[in-house]
Chains A and B, each alone.
Chain A
Amino acid sequence: MTSETSSQLTSLFSNSTLNRIERMRLNPLRRLTNRSRGEHLSGKGGSSTDFADYRDYAAGDDMRYVDWNIFARLRRPYIKQYLHEEELHVVILVDASSSMLFEDKLQRAKQLAAAFGIMGLMNVERVSAYAMHQKKDEPWMLPPGSGRQRIRNLLQFLEGVNGGGDVPIEKAIETMLRFHRGRGIAILLSDFLTFSDLSRSMNLLFSAGLEVWGMQILSESERNPSLEGDLRFVDSETGETLDITNAGELLSLYQDHRRWQEQTLNQQCRGRSGRFASVSSALTLESTLFDVLCRQGWVLR
Chain B
Amino acid sequence: MSWPGFSFPFGAWFFLTLIPLVVLYFLKLKRPRVEISSLALWQSVVNDQRVNSPFQKFRRNLLLLLQLILLMLVILALMQPFISAGPETVEYLPVLIDCSASMSSKVNDADETRLDLAVEQVKGMIDNLRGNGKIALFTFSSGGRRLTEFSDDSQLLLRALQKVEPTDRASKLDEVLRMAEAYSRTASVEKVVVITDGNLNDQVDFELPFKLDIQRVPTGGNNLGITEMTARRSGPESWDVFVRVSGSATETAYADLRLLKNGETIGKEAIEASVEDSERVVFSVESKEAALLQATLTAKDFDSLQIDNSVWLNLPNTRPLKVYAAEKLYSWQHALSVQTETELDTAAEPSLPEYDLIITDVEDLKGSTAPIVVYNGLVPKELQDLISVAAVTENDTPVQIMDWLQTAPLLRHVQLRDVQIAEKAKYINDADSQALEERGYEVLIHGAEGPLMLQRRRGLQTEYYFLFHTDRSTLPYRVAFPILVSNVTEFALQQASLSEVAATATGVLPAISVAPNREYQVKGPLAGTYNVTSTPSGILVGVQAETVGKYDIFDGEELVASVGTGLLSSLETSLRPVDEIQFSEVRVATDEVKVIDSDRHIWWSLAFLAFIFLLFEWWYFQRAKGGLAA
Contacts and interface: CB of A to CB of B under 8 A. Distances in A.
Q: Do the two shown chains form a genuine complex with each other? A: yes
A182 B243 CA distance: 135
A122 B254 CA distance: 123
B32 A222 contact: no
Interface in A228-285: 228-238, 240-254, 257-258, 261
A233 B40 CA distance: 11
A193 interface: yes
A194 interface: yes
A236 B37 contact: yes
Contact of A248 (B33, B39, B628): B628
Interface string B67-86: 00000000000000000000
A179 interface: no
A193 B35 contact: no
Nearest to B52: A253
Given A227-B34, A232-B32, A249 B42 contact: no
Contact of B625 (A228, A240, A245): A228
B41 interface: yes
Contact of A253 (B31, B36, B48): B48
Given A99-B38, A234-B35, A229 B627 contact: yes
A193 B38 contact: yes
A242 B49 CA distance: 14
A257 B624 contact: no
Contact of B45 (A99, A101, A102, A253): A253
B37 A102 contact: yes
A219 interface: yes
A6 B75 CA distance: 76
A240 B39 contact: yes
Interface string A190-205: 0101110000000000
A226 B49 contact: no
Nearest to A242: B39
A254 B31 contact: no
B30 to A, nearest CB: 9
Interface in B589-630: 624-629
A258 B46 CA distance: 13
A192 B36 CA distance: 14
A217 B627 CA distance: 27
A242 B35 CA distance: 10
A268 to B, nearest CB: 16
Interface residues on B, range: 20 to 34
A240 B39 CA distance: 8
Nearest to A225: B36
Contact of A251 (B33, B34, B628): B628
Nearest to B29: A230
Contacts of B44: 257
A249 B53 CA distance: 12
A131 to B, nearest CB: 17
A256 B625 CA distance: 23
A226 B628 CA distance: 8
Contacts of A194: 38, 40
A245 B49 CA distance: 11
B627 A247 contact: yes
A245 B56 CA distance: 9
Nearest to B32: A231
Nearest to A232: B31
B537 to A, nearest CB: 97
A230 B63 CA distance: 12
B397 interface: no
A99 B39 CA distance: 10
Interface string A58-90: 000000000000000000000000000000000
A243 B59 CA distance: 13
A247 B36 CA distance: 13
Contacts of A191: 37-38
Contact of A233 (B29, B42, B56, B629): B42
B60 interface: yes
B43 interface: yes
A243 B31 contact: yes
Given A232-B31, A240-B39, A254 B45 contact: yes
A250 B49 contact: yes
Nearest to A219: B37
Given A235-B36, A245-B59, A228 B45 contact: no
Given A229-B32, A232-B32, A233-B42, A193 B625 contact: no
A242 B627 contact: no
Nearest to B627: A248
Given A194-B40, A228-B629, A234 B34 contact: yes
Contacts of B42: 233, 242, 244, 250, 254
Nearest to A238: B39
Interface string B96-140: 000000000000000000000000000000000000000000000
Nearest to A231: B34
A230 B42 CA distance: 14
Nearest to A253: B45
B45 A245 contact: no
Contacts of B38: 99, 191, 193-194, 235-237
Contact of B34 (A105, A233, A249, A257): A233
Interface of A: 98-102, 105, 191, 193-195, 219, 222, 226-238, 240-254, 257-258, 261
Interface of B: 29, 31-46, 48-49, 56, 59-60, 624-629
| Shortest 6 CB-CB contacts between residues of A and residues of B | A248-B627, A228-B627, A193-B38, A99-B37, A232-B31, A248-B628
29 contacts: A98-B37, A102-B37, A191-B37, A195-B40, A222-B36, A222-B41, A227-B627, A228-B626, A228-B628, A229-B624, A229-B625, A230-B31, A231-B34, A233-B42, A234-B33, A235-B38, A237-B38, A241-B33, A242-B39, A245-B624, A246-B59, A246-B624, A246-B627, A249-B628, A250-B42, A250-B46, A252-B628, A253-B45, A257-B45
